[in-house]
Amino acid sequence: MKVSLLTARLPLAVATWCLVASAGYSQSAFVPSAGDPEVFYRYLRQAHQAVSETPQPVSSPAQQGAAAMMHVTAGDLAVLENVYQDTTNAIAALDTEAKTYINETVKAKSTPDLKKLQDYYARRVQILEAADQQLRNLLGDASWRRTREYIDGDFRSHVKRRVYQWKGQQ
Amino acid sequence: MEGSTMRTSRTIGWLFSIGVFVGTGTVLLAQCPSGAVCVDTDDNFDRLNGNAVQGHVETSLFGDLQYYFYPSVAGQEDKDGSVLSTSSLIWGAQGGVIRYNFASITLSSSGPGTYTATGYHEIYCPTSLCGSEVYYPPYTDGWNGYDAGSLSVQRPTVSGQPGLWWLGGGPDNPNSLYNQGYMSVTTNCSSCSETPHWTVTANPSKVSLSCTDCSTLIITTQQPSSSIGDVHIQASIGGFPSDTFQFTVNQPRALVSQGISDSASGATGYQSLLYYTTIEDAYGSPFASIGINEQFGSFTADTTNNWPTPTAGGIATYSGTWWDTISVACGSPCGASPLPLPPSGLSNPVMHATQTWRAGSATLGTGVVVQVDTIQYYTDHGRHN
B146 and B47 share a domain?
Answer: yes
B184 and B234 share a domain?
Answer: yes
Q: What domain range is B68 assigned to?
A: 14-153
Q: What end-to-end distance do the CA atoms of chain A give, in Å?
A: 25
Amino acid B259: pLDDT: 96
B78 and B104 share a domain?
Answer: yes
Task: Note whether B26 contacts A19, CB cutoff 8 Å.
Answer: no
B375 and B299 share a domain?
Answer: yes
> Does residue A82 contact residue A47 with C-beta atoms inside 8 Å?
no
Which residue in chain A has the smallest CA separation from B125? A5
Does any domain span residue A165? Answer: no
> Does residue B182 contact residue B216 with C-beta atoms inside 8 Å?
yes
B139 and B74 share a domain?
Answer: yes
Rounded to two decimals, the pTM is: 0.82
Question: Side chain identity at A108, as an amino acid letter?
Answer: A
Question: Which chain A residues in 6-65 lie under 8 Å from chain B, judged by CB atoms?
Answer: 6-9, 18-23, 25-27, 29-30, 32-33, 35-39, 42, 45-46, 49, 61-62, 64-65
Q: What is the pLDDT along chain B (385 residues), one digit of tens a residue?
A: 333 333 433 333 333 332 344 444 333 344 788 888 999 999 999 999 999 999 999 999 999 999 999 999 999 999 999 999 999 999 999 999 999 999 999 999 999 999 999 999 999 999 888 888 888 898 888 899 999 999 999 999 999 999 999 999 999 999 999 999 999 999 999 889 899 999 999 999 999 999 999 999 999 999 999 999 999 999 999 999 999 999 999 999 999 999 999 999 999 999 999 999 999 999 999 999 999 999 999 999 999 999 999 999 999 988 889 999 999 999 989 999 999 999 988 789 999 999 999 999 999 999 999 999 999 999 999 999 9
Does any domain span residue A13? Answer: no
Distance CA A77, CA A71 (A): 10
Interface test with A, best of B12, B20, B56, B116 (most A CBs within 10 A): B20
The closest CB to that of B19, out of A18, A46, A69, belongs to: A18
Does any domain span residue A9? Answer: no
B44 touches chain A (CB under 8 A): yes
Task: Note whether A166 contacts B21, CB cutoff 8 Å.
Answer: yes
User: CA of A90, closest CA in chain B: separation in Å?
Assistant: 14
Q: What end-to-end distance do the CA atoms of chain B give, in Å?
A: 79
Give the domain-ending residue among B250, B284, B318.
B250
Does any domain span residue A113? Answer: yes
Give the domain-ending residue among B127, B153, B179.
B153
Which residues on B lie below 8 Å from A99 (Cβ)?
67, 94-95
Residue B12 DSSP label: B
Does any domain span residue A3? Answer: no
B246 and B258 share a domain?
Answer: no
Q: What are phi and psi of B122, to 5 degrees?
A: -120, 140
Distance CA B33, CA B24 (A): 9
Does any domain span residue A7? Answer: no
Q: Indicate the SS3 state at residue B123.
A: strand
Does any domain span residue A22? Answer: no
B77 and B134 share a domain?
Answer: yes
Which residues on B lie below 8 Å from A103 (Cβ)?
128-129
Interface test with A, best of B11, B21, B107 (most A CBs within 10 A): B21
The angle formed by the CA atoms of residues B109, B112 and B115, to the nearest 5 degrees, is 100
| Beta-carbon count within 10 A of A52 CB | 11
Give the domain-ending residue among B105, B120, B153.
B153
What is this model's ipTM? 0.83
B239 touches chain A (CB under 8 A): no
- Name the residue with higher pLDDT: A24 or A105: A105
User: CA of B141, closest CA in chain A: separation in Å?
Assistant: 5
What CATH number should be reported for the domain holding residue B166? 2.60.40
What stretch of H or E contains A69? helix A61-70
Number of independent structural domains in chain B: 3
Q: What domain range is A139 assigned to?
A: 30-157
Identify whether B338 is preceded by a cis peptide bond (ω within 30 of 0).
yes
Which residues on A lie below 8 Å from B38 (Cβ)?
38, 161-164
Give the tens place of pLDDT for each residue, A81-102. Answer: 999 999 999 999 999 999 999 9
Task: Note whether A163 contacts B24, CB cutoff 8 Å.
Answer: yes
Number of independent structural domains in chain A: 1
Task: Note whether B141 contacts A114, CB cutoff 8 Å.
Answer: no
A138 touches chain B (CB under 8 A): no
Does any domain span residue A98? Answer: yes
